[in-house]
Structure 1
Amino acid sequence: MASTITTVITEDRAAQTTELAASATSAAAGRSTFSLPLLYGSPGQPTPTERGQGPFESYPYSELLPKVFPKAHNIGEPLEDFVHIDPGMRALSHPDPRKFLKNATKVGDFCPTIGTEVEGVNLAKLALEERDELALEVARRKVMVFRGQHDFFEAGGEFWKEFGSYFGRAYTHNLFVTGRLHVHPTGGHPEDLPEIHMIYRDENTVYYDTENITRGMWHTDMSHERQPPGLTAFFLFAHPESGGDTFFTSGVEALKRLSPGFVAYLKTLRQIQSAVDPIQVTRNGTRTRNIRRPCVTTIHPLVRRHPVTGEESLFLNPEATKGIVGYKKQESDLILNFLYDHIAGGLEGQMRVKWAPKTVVLWDNRVTMHSALFDFAGSPERRHGARITPQAERPIPALDGIQLD
């Protein structure tokens, strides 16, 4: 079986190299479905045009607005399980797994436990082995921020799908198949791009939350799925001059800060996650959303193990975690609320990304949580971005023998 997989990987890599070259050639020739204009930056503070601001009538990314939403009574089939192969596994055997950074003009860590900022590396031009190395480095650093990604933005929708699919690829019937890109169950997307999740906020859609002190909430994207996302890409076409930053925190570091006995106890726990509440009702509770497929309820471990690095991480989500299996609500809430407070207050594992034109952020959704900052409510400026969300493996319990079904 091992030799069969090796042969398949070798043959598949050759085929993927051909596909990647064709994709890059198509983008360069301007044949991509959504080829975006380049808004080159200049030294110093970006101009409003470079930040995607200005009159809505002349907004250059209007074709990438979230326009297609699910229709009522048009519910599709639930997602099927698949065998995910993380490309970072291949990079473990590379002589220099960080070789893809050799031409970088800047590589600096946000803090020791999480986050690296990179300049001078062109994500759109990475070879397949370099993509493998990228996956491994993101797994190790949790979050990577790539500046100056003009080619990535220009390449457009078909390239974005191909790029994301590489990190969510499935192995089935002795063959690698196209990776699983998650389609948001309720969110909007551009025409013909359901796999690219779009977010959009401006002065008409950002509101102050009158029921809570803050709208920020640490969360993990789509964690209720049986196979939640892994390496995730996010980039903004438009961002405010000030505000709208994104915070990240490491579930690995949060777990390390707890005492060994408590960690051993947490490893025995399973949680119930469901998307019923966040999917059916908007955050301000004013209307019911249409959905693309049935809502699911899933059992996940409270502590998971990363398939490539072997690191253990807290894995929970205030938006989706409903309780701990076998515990009464008050008992479950006591444990979960402690962990939420611990994560929120764990400054040693946190970082903050300030957005700049042509920035692409990659993070490992399996071992991080994040939160956008909606501090620009009332501002006339817009915040518009895209998320590429490859699905990964079903969470692996940190404690062997934990049954999830």
Structure 2
Amino acid sequence: MTCDNATPAALTPFPVPRRRTLPHRAWGIAAVAAVAIVTAGAFATVPGLLVTPLENEFGWERGQVSLATAVNMVLYGLTAPFAAAAMGRFGVRRVVPVALVLVGAGALLTSVMTAAWQLTLYWGLLIGIGTGSLTTTFAATVTAHWFVRRRGVVVGGLSAAGHLGQLLFLPLLATGVDRLGWRPPVVTLALVALAVAALAAWALRDHPADVGLAPLGGARPVPRPARAGGAAAHGVRVLGRAARTGTFWLLAGVFAICGASTNGIMWSHWVPAAHDHGVGATAAASMLSLIGIFSALGALASGWLTDRVDPRRLLVVYFGVRALTLLALPQALGAGAGPALVAFTVVYGLVDIATVPPVIALANDRFGADGPIVFGWVNAAHQLGAGLAAFLAAGARELLGGYDPVWLVLSAACLVAAVLAPVVEPAGAARADGR
């Protein structure tokens, strides 16, 4: 029996709720990748905090500690192209957790070391290889697989993630070292790395095809690329093809200067250099964190600009500004932890890792599908420059009694990089495969 005045469901005046559109899976993958990169980035500035405590506890010379840092930076760079090739063969879901376990194990072993060679083995070798697998080559791989649109922004965001790790952890680590000694902060970081390894194993996926999706911005799903046989051999073959082009050597040279003038000197010698001018470790670490904040902002802005402006022009501006800031740094440090040093950290921070999105874009434009691996080799040059700067700066400080000549030399090198950047060939002119 029906009521005469009943309203049919189709005529109901209430709106039918719309089906909620969920964010694309690519954003979740990028978020997990960012957490892994943040964790790896937290280890970058720890050696600078350990220099004085290790000198005091073990009586080691600064050069012995800097050797471990230099080995770490070199392996960090040399691992990247092989890690990119390994991700192509085994997938990020396998490679990333293994890398984080290496990092965690290296940090735990460092906490029980008794000799300087062990610092080189644990922090230099194990952590160098582990963090080297989680560099911007990892960001380039994730972006190339999961994104068609927003690539520049995503690369900028993932590049900023490493410095976000410094921002999040460095002040806490510095305070912990001051109050508790150096071992508890190192063990804490190790446990964080192991926890993130479990997260990555659970949440990461290698390719949109694995879950039946198109990349973000793609019209339809694309098949997963064939797995390359022999990751190490493939990485070397890509290097052989790329090394026959002038573009590769220009990018490698420019990025070597970039490494020397950023993490090579700043993340290893900033705290000791500030200490030489009467700035305490906690205040210096806070300044370094401020650089991290503006590095993140600069990387995001650079990613947005890279989608719209010739990357070569961006590199000219970034290296020019960096040269001027390094030239002014001795005066800023001489004034102590005041407005001049804060101004330096802001301006320097904005161009610190802003170079990464343009260089990745140039590598992808010039070398096509091999772009992430080629960038891995370019990044190896970055870390070679960083390792050389970290090691030589320690010797310069012991020989000359300060870091002022180091800042001047690096300023001049950045001017050279600004001159070299426009020489990179136009898009498509230097494909490593000869096309």
Whether the TM-score (by the shorter chain) exceeds 0.5 is no
Identify, as 1 or 2, the structure richer in helix.
2
Structure whose alpha-carbon radius of gyration is higher:
2
Task: Normalising by structure 1, report the TM-score.
Answer: 0.28
Task: Normalising by structure 2, report the TM-score.
Answer: 0.27
